[in-house]
Amino acid sequence: MPIVSSNKVGEKAWTRRLWAAFFLGPHLLGMLAFLIIPIAASLVLSFSTWDLLTPARWVGLDNYAALLNSPDFWDALKHTFYFIAGYLPLVLVLGLGLALLMNQKLRGRIFFRAAFFMPVVSAWVAVARLWKWLLNPRYGLVNWLLGLVGIEGPGWIFDPNWAIPSIILASVWKDLGFVMVLLLTGLQSISPEFYEAASLDGAASWRKLVYITLPLLSPTIFFVVVISLVNSFQVFDQVYVMTAGGPAGSSQVLVGEIVNNAFSYSRFGYASALSWVLFGLIFLVTLVQLGLQKRMVHYQ
């Protein structure tokens, strides 16, 4: 990234500084007030206890220690990983399948893309409501359809064993179009020459997929995995609306823990510590992935 700038003839440094202040000032003020200072405050807060009513008190690492000793935290972490383990492979494989289909230059692609992207642009709250209705054990469409083929559908969000699978199902439905479009962009950037050479060699199409498409698509796949993982660590809206962490805490996730502690119990220090643990997890996973990427990803 070359950084270029116009240096006008005879322009004085201080006029330039004034212009820089004029252009950057408003945004920098906003960033400081609503992002940078709150980030710093959150870090300080995570070493204190504060409920807004009594004065804040410095407690060192107590919040982090309390968190590590809290079964709720470990449960939320477990549920978050369970969600990721179900959601990520599903959305990736289905998204890849759709992207391969969409890459065939078929007619009506615009229509299909429009359809797949509709869940992506919709508000989670509305969509989660919708899935709660579709998955209603007695009157929902899903169990009715299952009944048609002779399967007795589960209790979905009312069953502790099915609450997270329900959330996974709704999340895959919502994000499928997004993952598909990202992967499609990657597929379209693969040079056709690779396939031409393979065709001359008489390679079968599945061999082309395994030996050409997937390796050349690996940078995009990695990108998709990174952002999907970062996003799924922060899963919350759909959980809040569909199950509110229930039944019996069986689907409480990390962000749900943060929200509960801050919002319901006014444990602001503890909630901040939780959010920094979340950040640490995201950071760690990103680092691991960047390391893996160097070894596994192929570039054209």
Partner 1 sequence: MQVEVENQGNISFMGARKNTLKLAAILKLAKTVPAYLALTVAALFALFPFIWMVSTSLKLPGEVLSASPVLLPTNPTLNAYVTISEAFPIWRILFNSVLVAGLTTALQLLFSAMAAFAFARINFRGRSALFVVYLATLMIPSQVTITPLFILMTGLGWVNTYQGLILPGAFSAFGVFLLRQSFLSFPKEYEEAASLEGASYWTVFRRLVLPLSGPALATLVVLSFMSAWNSFLWPLFVTRDADIMTLPVALATLQGRWTTQWNLVMAGAVLAVLPIITLYLLAQRYFVEGLTSGGLKG
Q: Using CB under 8 A, which of 259, 285, 289, 297 touches partner 1?
A: 259
Q: Using CB under 8 A, which of 59, 67, 157, 258 touches partner 1?
A: 258
Residue span 128-167 as binding mask against partner 1, x where in contact by CB under 8 A, dash where not = -xxx-xx-x-xx-x--x-----------------------
Q: How far is the CB of 147 from partner 1 (least distance, A)?
A: 9
Piece of 69-77, 122-130, 153-161, 290-298 that binds partner 1 (CB under 8 A)? 122-130
Piece of 84-92, 150-158, 189-197, 270-278 that binds partner 1 (CB under 8 A)? 270-278
Q: Restricting to residues 57-116, name those near partner 1 by CB under 8 A.
A: 97-98, 101-102, 104, 106-107, 110-116
Q: How far is the CB of 241 from partner 1 (least distance, A)?
A: 6
Q: How far is the CB of 287 from partner 1 (least distance, A)?
A: 11
217 binds partner 1 per the rule CB under 8 A: no
Q: Using CB under 8 A, which of 47, 83, 87, 276 touches partner 1?
A: 276
Q: Restricting to residues 164-183, name those near partner 1 by CB under 8 A.
A: 173, 175-178, 181-182
28 binds partner 1 per the rule CB under 8 A: yes
233 binds partner 1 per the rule CB under 8 A: yes
38 binds partner 1 per the rule CB under 8 A: yes
9 binds partner 1 per the rule CB under 8 A: yes
39 binds partner 1 per the rule CB under 8 A: yes
Q: Restricting to residues 183-202, name those near partner 1 by CB under 8 A.
A: 185
Q: How far is the CB of 56 from partner 1 (least distance, A)?
A: 10
- Token code pair at residue 36: 């940078």
DSSP the chain: --------TT--HHHHHHHHHHHHHHHHHHHIIIIIHHHHHHHHHTTEE--SSSPPEE-TTHHHHHHHT-HHHHHHHHHHHHHHHHHHHHHHHHHHHHHHHHTT--TTHHHHHHHHHHHHHS-HHHHHHHHHHHT-TTT-HHHHHHHHTT-----GGGSTTTHHHHHHHHHHHHHHHHHHHHHHHHHHTS-HHHHHHHHHTT--HHHHIIIIIHHHHHHHHHHHHHHHHHHHHT--HHHHHHTTT-STTTT--HHHHHHIIIIIS--HHHHHHHHHHHHHHHHHHHHHHHHHHHHH----
Nearest to partner 1 of 59, 181 (CB atom): 181
- Nearest Cα neighbor of 132 from 81, 166, 89 is 166
Phi and psi torsions of 299, nearest 5°: -110, 155
